[in-house]
Amino acid sequence: MVKWEYKVVPVKTRIHSDHFQSDSRPIIDDVQNDLNTLGNEGWELVSVQDISLPDGRMFTVAYLKRRKKG
């Protein structure tokens, strides 16, 4: 039977609302690099979730999995 391990990580994004690209999408720094690093470690992105806290703050969480060693 295949066994999995899971990782839950906050997605560290910085959205620059004062600077937009020509296609009007915000610039998000380092997300792709962070996910590629995790992918190189064997992690597969399963899902992401935006979470809103009662005080109005919002953040994104990424859920990843990889086959358990041994």
Helix, strand, or coil (residue 22): coil
> What pLDDT score does 67 carry?
97
For residue 4 the two structure tokens come to 């999995």
- Report the C-alpha gap between 52 and 37 in whole angstroms: 27
pLDDT at 14: 61
- Number of helical (H) and strand (E) elements in the chain, helices listed first: 1, 5
Is pTM beyond 0.75 here? no
Mean of pLDDT values over 52-62? 88
C-alpha to C-alpha distance for 21 and 28, rounded to whole angstroms: 11
